[in-house]
Structure 1
Amino acid sequence: MITPKLKMRAFFPFTATLAAALALAPAQAAEPAFATAPATGTVSAVRLLSAGPLEGGAYRAGVEISLAPKTATYWRQPGEAGSPPVFDFSKSANVAKVETAFPTPKHLDEAGTVVAGYDETVIFPLKITPKNPKAPATLSLDLDYAACGKICLPAKASLTLALPQSGASPFAAAIAAAEKRVPVKISGAEAAKRLALKKDGESWRLSVAGPGKVQDIFAEVPEPLFIESKREGADFALTLFSTGPKPKSANVTLTIVTDKETFEAPAHLE
């Protein structure tokens, strides 16, 4: 796996601002059973949050990354620069599967380079399926991520949370809000009705039929490829780049933000 290099920038004082940001984090004095203590870095902190007991055969939870002001962390495919978060739940007990979702990111300008990420506290929703739903389950996370202000700092967190078997979680509403920020996935057939891609020189022109007016798009391709998008009137130009040989075609996942909804669609560049 090829990970884009972090672009380094000048350092700035942030210890006090991080403390202030964490003081404003939701439900700071909540019951310990529904959250871990924060694993605190220089400009960031991470917690595991639980939405409550088992529902429909699965637990709902979240990984919360709190950020100091003027600090950002990255989406699953940041672009030319940046380092996506890597979630490792392999040390969990009585856990068959953990599904991690990514809320819709923003495009952020980092010293002239545009990346996809988050510049405020973000919760990544989790759906946890236990091996034995009648037995207690423990979620363990090893997380590698980056927190970038005027300098990019690699960060790590190791957290463990015994998933609660009863009670009402003070974090349920925050996790539900994060789940609503996750794009809705549509099928290839539905995508073909709503999207049009046309080769235009070294790029592809993307038109979106709706519903709603397109505000932004995020395009993902398999490594070692990456893709840049640029608005051109009502459409977008997609340009494919590679750190190795450049292919003539590629499968792409498009996250499209409109004023009506955000959806994720498969597409093919050829």
Structure 2
Amino acid sequence: MTGKLALFTFIASLAAPIAAQAQNFDDIIDASLLSGWRQSDGSHMAAIRLDLEQGWHTYWRAPGDAGIPPYFDMSGSGNFKSFQVLWPRPEVYEQNGLRSIVYHDSVVLPLRIVPTARGQDITLNAEIEIGICKDICIPKTLNVRAVLPAAARARDALIASALADRPDTGKEAGAQNVTCRISPTRDGVALKTTLTLPRVGRSEAMAIETADPLLWVGEPEMKRSGNALSSVTQIQHVEGAPFILNRSGIRITVLGESRAVEISGCTGQ
């Protein structure tokens, strides 16, 4: 499946019966801001909380074949230099032969925000575009606004819990010998990854990302033998253009039922 086809699959899933389209979906999801605390390095730790109606889900940063990733627009913010979403561990969801990587019911997404001027309040104005799904999928645009006080020091328990639920790094999990072999194909490249990693759960899944948002990455075919874990996947440019795959920008995430591991970069093979 190409990147365009993956996006088309999501858009096509928006086509619902006329009766379903007539429903009011405004109350399915609620977005709120947890204002958090100012850190010793001058950055601010806040979070966006998404609460969905029971049974609905939204998507992780790499959503799989049947979804779209959240998009954050912070351009209306004040005293705002940059931000990073610190994604908690998602779960794997399969429906109609397609795999998605999702959050169900409720999720807190920590935001590490760097202000332009240290020691000053931050005015956060965030517009978030997401897809939410149950029997049908619909796009939603959410807006949250708040002042993040420079004087705030108390840690928020919900944000701290979400930070604790982030994937372990490869170093923390004991990952070793992470290699990538890249082979050209007619439409792009085939990527084979190999690494040594103890099991992260009874059942495991893998997601592979690249540093280029215009590259579509297929669902990896994963194999494990003891601590040896390998995968093969296809990578294509969504516009059919030629590309160079940067190994240092490859991110491998191994997902278990209650734990995940995120590995950045790989060496040649």
**Superposition TM-score, scaled by structure 2 size:** 0.74
- Opposite residue 176 of structure 1, the aligned amino acid is A
216 and 137 in structure 1: CA distance in 2 versus 1, 3 angstrom threshold: same
Q: Determine helix, strand or coil for the equivalent of 2:160.
A: helix
Task: Give, in whole Å, the separation in 2 of the partners of 1:96 and 1:138.
Answer: 11
Count of equivalent residues:
241
Q: Determine helix, strand or coil for the equivalent of 1:95.
A: coil
Structure 2: which 5+ residue stretches go unaligned? none
- Opposite residue 149 of structure 1, the aligned amino acid is K
- Opposite residue 162 of structure 2, the aligned amino acid is A
Q: Determine helix, strand or coil for the equivalent of 1:84.
A: coil
Q: Determine helix, strand or coil for the equivalent of 1:76.
A: strand
Cα pair 1:145 1:156 within 8 Å, conserved: yes
- Give the drift of 1:61: 0.5
Cα RMSD after superposing both structures = 3.5
Q: Determine helix, strand or coil for the equivalent of 1:194.
A: strand
Q: Determine helix, strand or coil for the equivalent of 1:134.
A: coil
Task: Give, in whole Å, the separation in 2 of the partners of 1:128 and 1:118.
Answer: 22
78 and 213 in structure 1: CA distance in 2 versus 1, 3 angstrom threshold: closer
Task: Give, in whole Å, the separation in 1 of the partners of 2:260 and 2:29.
Answer: 30
Cα pair 1:77 1:220 within 8 Å, conserved: yes
For each residue in 1:172-196, what CA deviation from the matched residue of structure 2 results, as whole angstroms up to 9, or x when unmatched? Answer: 1111111122234558xx97x3324
88 and 52 in structure 1: CA distance in 2 versus 1, 3 angstrom threshold: same
- Opposite residue 195 of structure 1, the aligned amino acid is V
Cα pair 1:69 1:120 within 8 Å, conserved: yes
Name the counterpart of 1:183.
167
Task: Give, in whole Å, the separation in 1 of the partners of 2:86 and 2:153.
Answer: 23
201 and 103 in structure 1: CA distance in 2 versus 1, 3 angstrom threshold: same
Q: Determine helix, strand or coil for the equivalent of 2:162.
A: helix
Name the counterpart of 2:197.
210
Moved more, 244-253 or 135-144: 244-253
Name the counterpart of 2:232.
238
Pair 1:46 & 2:26 matched: no
Q: Specify which of 248, 253, 256 is matched with residue 254 of structure 2.
A: 256
Cα pair 1:105 1:117 within 8 Å, conserved: yes
Cα pair 1:220 1:254 within 8 Å, conserved: yes
Task: Give, in whole Å, the separation in 1 of the partners of 2:177 and 2:107.
Answer: 29
Pair 1:219 & 2:219 matched: no
Name the counterpart of 1:4.
7
- Opposite residue 84 of structure 1, the aligned amino acid is P
Name the counterpart of 2:137.
152
Name the counterpart of 1:90.
75
Task: Give, in whole Å, the separation in 2 of the partners of 1:118 and 1:50.
Answer: 21
- Opposite residue 66 of structure 1, the aligned amino acid is D
Task: Give, in whole Å, the separation in 1 of the partners of 2:179 and 2:52.
Answer: 38
Task: Give, in whole Å, the separation in 1 of the partners of 2:73 and 2:36.
Answer: 20
Name the counterpart of 1:61.
46
Task: Give, in whole Å, the separation in 1 of the partners of 2:114 and 2:55.
Answer: 36
Name the counterpart of 2:103.
118
- Opposite residue 85 of structure 1, the aligned amino acid is P
Cα pair 2:36 2:159 within 8 Å, conserved: yes
- Opposite residue 209 of structure 1, the aligned amino acid is T
Pair 1:172 & 2:156 matched: yes
Task: Give, in whole Å, the separation in 1 of the partners of 2:224 and 2:170.
Answer: 25
1:186-197 to 2 correspondence within 5 Å?
Answer: 193-197=176-180
Q: Determine helix, strand or coil for the equivalent of 2:102.
A: strand
For each residue in 1:88-139, what CA deviation from the matched residue of structure 2 results, as whole angstroms up to 9, or x when unmatched? Answer: 1111111222122222222211322111121231111111122222322211
Cα pair 1:75 1:117 within 8 Å, conserved: yes
For each residue in 1:75-98, what CA deviation from the matched residue of structure 2 results, as whole angstroms up to 9, or x when unmatched? Answer: 112122211100111111112221
- Opposite residue 251 of structure 2, the aligned amino acid is T
Q: Determine helix, strand or coil for the equivalent of 1:41.
A: coil
| Percentage identity across paired residues of the two chains | 22
